[in-house]
């Protein structure tokens, strides 16, 4: 039983050392915390099928690409 506890303590110590080394070598976080969030695109409803798509993808008649073809 004593050997099992020693083994568990050794594994725990190795894990802690590994985490400390990994955190020390990691680059510091930049300003803003990473990538910018995706830009919001306003959506509109297709006049024929009712699917919401980005407003830029509708044609002048209000149809999506699937309904145009």
Q: Tell me the per-residue pLDDT of 9-65, one tens digit each, with 9 for 90 and over.
A: 999 999 999 999 999 998 877 676 667 777 889 999 999 999 999 999 999 999 999
Question: Got the DSSP string for the chain?
Answer: -HHHHHHHHHHHHHHHHHHHHHHHHSPPP-TTSSSPPPPP--EEE-TTT--EEEGGGS-TTS--HHHH-
- pLDDT of residue 68 exceeding 90: no
Does position 6 have pLDDT exceeding 90, yes or no? yes
Q: What is the pLDDT of residue 32?
A: 64
């Amino acid at each position: 039983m004593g050997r099992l506890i020693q083994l568990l303590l050794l594994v725990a110590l190795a894990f802690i050392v590994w985490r400390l080394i990994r955190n020390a070598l990691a680059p510091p976080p930049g300003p803003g915390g990473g990538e910018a969030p995706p830009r919001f695109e306003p959506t509109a409803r297709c006049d024929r099928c009712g699917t919401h798509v980005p407003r830029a993808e509708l044609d002048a008649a209000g149809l999506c690409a699937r309904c145009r073809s």
